[in-house]
Amino acid sequence: MTANTATERRRVTTLLAAAAIGVYLLIVVGATTALTEATQACSTWPLCGTDLSDPRVLIAWGHRLAALVVGVVVLAALVTTWRSSTSRRAKAVLLVPFVLYPVQIGLGALAATTSADWLSTLHLLSGMAIFVGLVLALAWTLELGTDDTAPVTDPDPLTAEPTDTGETPSLQPSSRPSGPLARAKRIGAAYFRLMKPRLMWLLCLVAAAGMALAAGPSLDAGIVVRVLGGGVLAIGASGTFNHVLERKKDRKMQRTNDRPIATDQVGVTNALAFGVLLAAASLALFLSVNLLAAALGLCAILFYSVIYTLVLKPNTVQNTVLGGAAGALPALIGWVGVTGTIGVPGLALAGVIFLWTPAHFYNLALAYKDDYARGGFPMLPVVRGERVTRRHIVWYLAATLLGASVLAAVTSLGWLYAGATVAFGALFLWTVVRLHRERSEQAAFRAFHASNAYLGALLFAIVIDAILL
């Protein structure tokens, strides 16, 4: 690739990314209750009321001016891409935003001047189609010039066994602390690691967001304590069973060969007993909330421990995608803990988590590609190559953002939620663009951390928006 071509491609992808985020801003703002109320206060088009002391009029003006600015950015992205040497399919798919953006403006005008709900729905769907067209063009342009199109086939990491020296990593006797108190701390720390505490804060935040959506300002503190307590214990039980079942593979991977069971700090029998105890305590807490919450809690434990660990992870390249259901269940548990039933907002939140999981974890799979190959796991970059994996990250990131806009449309979330998903979604997208450009382990970790920041900010915004605003 020549310097001129690289510069041209960088300019094209930057414009396409900016256009996609701009359109996403319009989608999310259009899906929130803030714009719905603003439309009621401003039923003319293109001009609006002059009473700028009314916040609803300001929102309506802001949305229309933003649509104008974004339209200019989209047009610049279209022209620049069509004039560049990018792929034909990238240019062809841009016909979608080229045709639909004027239609979108017309639908917005009709939606503002009439009271037909179907026009607002069509307006939202048209915006989503424009967003998808821009993201497709972005992904296909980003992947040009990469040379890792072939899967890893020589040697086959899924059939070739690594050399086994017969030695199990363990703590050296000199490194073991002496004395009853020091030994108790070491054992306690080992059992705590079995519970996978790094997963707890995010999954508990998912459950908290589900409860906040269901109850709003009237959220009961007792339910919060019992649901989150049951969730912590369920995560601990699932993590413990996962450590037991993957102990042999853990010893082959640098990332996991220091885990408590892999290093014989905790025996298998003791770990199983610990996991059963955690699971029983978790179900008891969920039962104190309602039966459906307990049933979903049991499903979450069994799905992660058995379906994901034993069936999906070692046998299919789609393990990360299908395994996202384990992370999505806490959203339903949080909603059910308050309502006792499964509702559309709870399902929408679970859908966001499900779609976010591949966009999040594929970055880690890229960074630890060789390690997963040693462990014999058919992760996407191991089986289909890094280029395909980077492209799938873009797909699932776009799907996550669209899922977040659907959540805005089926709830009463407002400006704080909209700002969080747009701002942190833009950050996430930009790190993914850099991942395509740099193709390095550092870039993969950067995108991984950005994905955590996106979901964390989104969930905090949901909790604050639903309870306090």
- 199 inside domain: yes
3-state helix, strand, coil in the chain (%, to 5): 75, 0, 25
- The last residue of one of the domains, among 121, 142, 163, is 142
Same-domain pairing of 377 and 457: yes
- 410 inside domain: yes
- The last residue of one of the domains, among 91, 123, 142, is 142
Q: Does residue 32 sit in helix, strand or coil?
A: coil
Three-class HEC string of 106-130: HHHHHHHHCCCHHHHHHHHHHHHHH
Same-domain pairing of 275 and 338: yes
Q: What is the pLDDT of residues 291-340, one digit of tens each?
A: 999 999 999 999 999 999 999 999 999 999 999 999 999 999 999 999 99
- 251 inside domain: yes
- 364 inside domain: yes
Q: For the chain, how many structural domains are there in total?
A: 2
- The last residue of one of the domains, among 127, 142, 157, is 142
Same-domain pairing of 217 and 314: yes
Specify the pLDDT at position 327: 93
- 147 inside domain: no
For a pLDDT cut of 90, what percent of the chain falls above it?
69
Same-domain pairing of 416 and 311: yes
Calculate the average pLDDT of the chain.
87
Specify the pLDDT at position 193: 93
- 282 inside domain: yes
**The two three-digit tokens of residue 392, written as one number:** 């799938």
CB 70 within 8 A of CB 21: no
CB 352 within 8 A of CB 451: no
Same-domain pairing of 28 and 131: yes
Specify the pLDDT at position 156: 40
Same-domain pairing of 75 and 222: no
- 166 inside domain: no
Specify the pLDDT at position 172: 41
**pTM value?**
0.88
**Does 165 score more than 70 pLDDT?**
no
Same-domain pairing of 83 and 229: no
Which CATH number belongs to the domain containing residue 434 in this structure? 1.10.600
Confidence of residue 188 (pLDDT cuts 50, 70, 90): very high
Same-domain pairing of 120 and 212: no
Same-domain pairing of 334 and 278: yes
Range of the domain at 323: 185-468
Buried b or exposed e, range 9-33, using 16+ CB within 10 angstroms:
beebbebbbbbbbbbbbbbbbbbbe
Same-domain pairing of 205 and 117: no
Q: Check residues 169 and 222 and name the one with the higher pLDDT.
A: 222
Same-domain pairing of 118 and 27: yes
Specify the pLDDT at position 372: 93
- 104 inside domain: yes
Same-domain pairing of 290 and 408: yes
Quick one: average pLDDT of 109-117? 75
Quick one: average pLDDT of 239-250? 94
For a pLDDT cut of 70, what percent of the chain falls above it?
87
Quick one: average pLDDT of 407-418? 90
Specify the pLDDT at position 154: 37
CB 19 within 8 A of CB 74: yes
**Does 40 score more than 70 pLDDT?**
no
Angle (CA) 222-224-226 rounded to 5° is 70
